[in-house]
Amino acid sequence: MRACVTGRNGEGKSTLLKVIAGRLEPDAGDVVKAPGLKVAFLEQAVPSDRSGTVADIAGSGKYISQMGLDPNAVFNSLSGGMRRRVLLARVLSDEPDLVLLDEPTNHLDVASIEWLESFIRRQTEMAFLFVTHDRAFLKSVATYVYDLDRGVLSGWNCDYRTFLQRKADLQSDEAALWARKAKKLAQEEAWIRQGVKARRTRNQGRVEALRKLRLEFANRRTAIGTSTLKLDTAAASGDRVIKVEGVSFAYGNGAPVVRDFTTDVLRGERIGVIGENGTGKTTLLKLLTGQLAPTAGSVTLGTRVEMAFFDQLHAQLDPESTVKEVVAKDRDAVTVGGVTKHVFAYLADFLFTPERARTPVKALSGGEKARLLLARLFLKPSNLLVMDEPTNDLDVETLELLEEQLLNYKGTLLVVSHDRTFLDNVVTSSYVLAGDGEVRTCAGGYAEASRMLRQVKDDARSVEPSSGGGTVQDRKSVNARKLTYNEKRELDMLPDRIAALEHEIADIETALSDPAIYSRDNARATSMTARLPQVRDELDAAETRWLELSEKV
């Protein structure tokens, strides 16, 4: 089973996982587990200080090598993404029966996320229950959805794409139902105000029905408001926002993280910084914004640049301050876009109720902390917005609203993110780091950057010396001559097989998107729901096999 828990930030998704894991005791009820059940839990937070090496923390299991970790590296010296890999390796090394993952993709690079997706899909002995904001991860992995909505947990026996459609239909039906009840309530309230007639014995049933309807409305679980994020853009900067000339940077006597990089960042560009953990993405961001001085070369900010910075580790938040104090200190009003608003009204735009606004930062969920940081960031007029992993912990709805605001932002954007969907939706060009110190540029987002990274790796392999002499390319030629008759035939047939599987997936998704199928032919709907993840796994295996055989050719 591969189940996800969805819901708004602050709904209690992480709390639910902690209760299941035994980290928190429920106020009522029991958590009943199968005898001998082994549960492992990956928490959302990445520890800022933990002594020991990678091997000390993750053990000596196979996952250290699979996650690309150096067992002798000191944990506290690693980046946030590498620390996340260590903790993930630790969780998996116990070979648990049930794995609880709270935002498992946070801080992981795309290569690690894709490895994790593939690992989870292959597992038959482990069950997974996870909370994540990563839409690509959800669509790739989840086969069952638990939706936590206004305190009620409901199960949906379908993948994430189908869940979104069914949930939208349910919300539409719910809104129509309450509209009818509201009309009925208004009619009955008008009737009861007529007085004497309502108190006659034969009308007591109608009076009781009105009382129940009033109670129903009083206990109604109303939907939380919609977040209305809005960026405050300062006056335009000059045409050239940042000029970078021959910049190189290395830590101590180490190899260059950035080598001889020259570029101009122009007004209105939305640039993503993409690469695996440890390749220097945050370092490059700090060089471009003047937080780090280059070892060689120069970085010059253009005229009239007003910068705002989003920190991936939420280091700018005082845990003892309340939400209101973080945004407005001791003031009762804030000014955004030239308009003065009461601080509680402004925080409501970020889904903080007045009660929650008085809560200390240390009591907030990861997603609430991310929203709070955005609330403070958006109060500062800027024309250069620098964001280091802004999508971590945000719920999907807030994430989509953030995307919309960034697309409408009139300034310049520099962003580090491992969220593939976010990058493809927002950025117009990318700086791509492959770990060799060179910063490459490409148009577009993650899809284009990933193709560039694959090409860089292929080029590097093609010039590596082999143990028997010659290059990797020479060995590929030898492999091609060794392609068997059956392999050649399989390679010829795989494109049709892949196309057929893609067609089947499209047909199933189209059929399941029609809510009527569940009442018209529930057996067929159940069968297709079970079949869909199988087809996706078959497609993944076929594509992998095609790549293996193509490598030989």
Q: Which helix (H) or strand (E) holds 537?
A: helix 522-552
Task: Flag whether pLDDT at 200 surpasses 70.
Answer: no
Task: Flag whether pLDDT at 478 surpasses 80.
Answer: no
User: Of the segments 76-85, 160-169, 288-297, which one has the largest average pLDDT value?
Assistant: 288-297
Query: What percent of the chain stands above pLDDT 70?
Result: 86
Q: What is the pLDDT of residue 265?
A: 92
Q: Closest by alpha carbon to 411, among 245, 271, 228? A: 271
Q: What is the DSSP letter of 181?
A: H
State mean pLDDT over 458-482: 51
Q: Burial code of 208-236, b = ≥16 C-beta within 10 A, e = fewer?
A: eebeebeeeeeeeeeeeeebebebbbbee
Phi-psi region of 107 (alpha: psi -120 to 50; beta: other; left: phi over 0): left
Q: Burial code of 152-170, b = ≥16 C-beta within 10 A, e = fewer?
A: eeeebebbbbbbbebbeee
Could you tell me the pLDDT band of residue 219, with boundaries at 50, 70 and 90? low
**Which one has a higher pLDDT value, 123 or 175?**
123
Q: What is the DSSP letter of 198?
A: G
CB-based burial label for 306 (10 Å; 0-12, 13-18, 19+): middle
> Which residues on neighbouring strands pair with residue 240, listed in sequence order?
266
Question: pLDDT for 333-379, tens place per residue?
Answer: 998 877 888 999 889 888 888 999 999 998 888 778 888 888 888 88
DSSP sequence for 446-487: HHHHHHHHHHHHHHHHHTSBPTTSSBHHHHHHHHHHT--HHH
Rounded Cα distance, 212 and 220, in Å:
12
State mean pLDDT over 241-256: 91
Q: What is the DSSP letter of 360?
A: B
Other Cβ atoms within 10 Å of 42 Cβ, number = 20
Could you tell me the pLDDT band of residue 529, with boundaries at 50, 70 and 90? confident
Task: Flag whether pLDDT at 468 surpasses 50.
Answer: no
Task: Flag whether pLDDT at 199 surpasses 80.
Answer: no
Q: What is the pLDDT of residue 433?
A: 92
Q: What is the pLDDT of residue 336?
A: 80
Q: What is the DSSP letter of 48?
A: S
Find the largest Cα–Cα distance for the chain: 104
Could you tell me the pLDDT band of residue 162, with boundaries at 50, 70 and 90? confident
Question: pLDDT for 125-155, tens place per residue?
Answer: 889 999 988 888 888 899 999 988 877 888 8
Q: Closest by alpha carbon to 149, among 134, 137, 167, 135? A: 167
**Which one has a higher pLDDT value, 518 or 6?**
6
- To the nearest whole number, what is the mean pLDDT of the chain? 81
Q: Which residue's entry shows tokens 């700086």? A: 431
Task: Flag whether pLDDT at 197 surpasses 70.
Answer: no
- 506 to 146, 156, 498, 510, 532: CA distances (angstroms): 24, 20, 12, 6, 10
Residues whose CB falls within 8 Å of the CB of residue 365, separated by 6 or more in sequence, listed in order: 9, 10, 13, 14, 393
Q: Closest by alpha carbon to 277, among 425, 85, 517, 446? A: 85
Query: What percent of the chain stands above pLDDT 90?
Result: 21
Q: How far does Cα 520 stand from its chain's mean position?
A: 35
User: Which of 90-99, 260-269, 303-312, 479-488 comes out lowest in average pLDDT?
Assistant: 479-488
State mean pLDDT over 266-294: 90
DSSP sequence for 369-428: HHHHHHHHHTTS-BSEEEEESTTTT--HHHHHHHHHHHHH--SEEEEE---HHHHHHH-S
Q: What is the pLDDT of residue 467?
A: 45
Residues whose CB falls within 8 Å of the CB of residue 328, separated by 6 or more in sequence, listed in order: 334, 343
Rounded Cα distance, 439 and 433, in Å:
5
User: Of the segments 39-43, 473-477, 511-515, which one has the largest average pLDDT value?
Assistant: 39-43
Tokens representing 84 are: 């996340």
At 445, the amino acid letter reads G
**Which one has a higher pLDDT value, 417 or 480?**
417
Domains in the chain with CATH codes: 2-151 (3.40.50.300), 163-218 (no CATH), 240-456 (3.40.50.300), 472-552 (1.10.287.380)
Decide: 389 and 255 in contact? Cβ < 8 Å: no
**Which one has a higher pLDDT value, 272 or 454?**
272
- 339 to 203, 236, 253, 325, 377: CA distances (angstroms): 53, 19, 51, 20, 16
CA-CA-CA-CA dihedral for 56, 60, 61, 62, to nearest 10: 120
User: Which of 144-148, 292-296, 475-479, 483-487 comes out lowest in average pLDDT?
Assistant: 475-479
Q: What is the pLDDT of residue 474?
A: 44
Task: Flag whether pLDDT at 209 surpasses 70.
Answer: yes
User: Of the segments 73-82, 236-245, 461-470, which one has the largest average pLDDT value?
Assistant: 236-245
